[in-house]
Amino acid sequence: MIKSRSGNLRRHADPPSFIARPLGAGAISTYHFLHIPKTGGTSVTDFLRTQIPEERIYPGAFDHQIVREPEDAPRFDLYAGHISIGRAPGDPRLITMLRNPRQRLLSAFGHWRAVAERKRDSPKPGNGFVSQFLEMSLEEFLAAETPALKRVTMNLQSRLLAGGQYGTKKSTRAQVFGPELGDEEVLEAATHTLRNCFYFGFTEDLNASIQRLAALGGWPHPETRYRSKVTPSWARPTEAPEISEDKLKSATSLDDRLYAAAKDIYRERFGG
């Protein structure tokens, strides 16, 4: 099952019934960019913001904001950020980016370490989730049994694309809960999403991915050459420890399979 050995990746609520719609089912002018952490999503969001008027872009970027919107809240043409599948109202066209799973995970660790360092001397150092990275090694990060840490490490890309949900509190907004599916079901659901979403690209080929997105969206060819803004795979290269291959593989086993499948799906759907 896609859960921690203590069973704490599970979520009290069922995953959303909406996982993916056939290509073209969403309203043409409505898009949902699912930003998976450390995949170059900020660059994609920057591009989308050049194509859609600011007043037509949802001002929030997290599930904990969108779930608090009233039923009659205004609808927007773009919902971009760490917003789970099924959260954006209506039937928007889904866009996302994927990254080599192990590089993405190492980048995530470097990111949390950097955030913890920045907040070390802050009057408001942040919650315990961030501060724990001050003394944490990469080995400890990969081997962690605490539910919160496993929610930000274990096969994050697969779980989000299979219907996993970001936390709905500010303190848990980076954590992914669920879905309540077995490993093969998660992989099947995530693959289905890639086959049916409007577009997905790859961090390793970011500029070309954004160019293809522009063509699909009927937007002008980007004049900017986009480069990834993600944290390097290791924030401090001179301090990089020996990495346990088994622990790294365990945390990305499904994502590795999804990433390999995504390469074939991309060629089938978009060419290249």
Q: Residue 220 phi/psi, 5° resolution?
A: -60, 150
> Token pair for residue 216?
């699909």
**Mean pLDDT in residue range 136-140:** 87
Q: Flag the least confident range among 91-95, 131-135, 241-245, 252-256.
A: 241-245
Structure tokens at 54: 């600011």
pTM confidence score: 0.85
More confident residue, 17 or 243: 243
For the ranges 151-165, 203-217, 234-248, the lowest mean pLDDT is seen at 234-248
Question: Helix, strand, or coil here: 202?
Answer: strand
Mean pLDDT calculated for residue range 85-93: 92
- Identify the CA nearest to 98 among candidates 220, 256, 267: 256
C-alpha span between 35 and 248 (Å, rounded): 22
Please answer whether residues 218 and 210 qualify as being in contact, where contact means their C-beta atoms are separated by less than 8 angstroms.
no
Phi, psi angle pair for 46, to nearest 5°: -60, -45
Q: What is the pLDDT of residues 103-125, one digit of tens each?
A: 999 999 988 888 888 887 775 65
Output the pLDDT for position 9: 45
pLDDT of residue 56: 96
How far apart CA 90 and CA 87 sit, in angstroms, is 9
Residue 20: pLDDT above 60?
no
* Residue-level pLDDT at 129: 82
| Alpha helices for the chain (secondary structure H) | 41-51, 63-66, 101-119, 128-131, 138-143, 147-153, 156-161, 183-196, 206-217, 245-270
pLDDT of 75 above 80: yes
pLDDT of residue 123: 58
Per residue in 252-262, pLDDT (tens digit) is 999 999 999 99
DSSP class per residue in 226-258: ----SPPSSS-GGGPPPP-HHHHHHHHHHHHHH
Task: Read off the pLDDT of each residue in 61-86 and give the average, rounded to a whole number.
Answer: 92
Cis check for the bond before 179: say yes or no (omega within 30 of 0): yes
Distance CA 226, CA 203 (A): 11
Is the predicted pLDDT of residue 212 greater than 90, yes or no?
Answer: yes
Helices 183-196, 245-270: crossing angle, 10 deg rounding: 30
Q: How far is CA 22 from CA 45, 96, 134, 197, 198, in A?
A: 23, 15, 44, 7, 8
Helix, strand, coil % in the chain, rounded to nearest 5: 45, 10, 45
Given a cut of 60, is residue 233 above it in pLDDT? no
Is residue 14 packed enough to be buried (19+ CB in 10 Å), middle (13-18) or exposed (0-12)?
A: exposed
Question: Per-residue b/e over 175-214, b at no fewer than 16 CB within 10 Å?
Answer: bbbbbbbeeeebbebbbebbbbbbbbbbbeebbebbbbbb
Report how far apart, in Å, the C-alpha atoms of 34 and of each of 79, 80, 81, 133 are.
Answer: 8, 6, 6, 26
Distances (CA, A) of 83 to 147, 220, 231, 236: 21, 26, 20, 30
At residue 261, what is the residue type? A
Most confident of 72-76, 146-150, 190-194: 190-194
Question: Which residue's entry shows tokens 């990495």?
Answer: 243
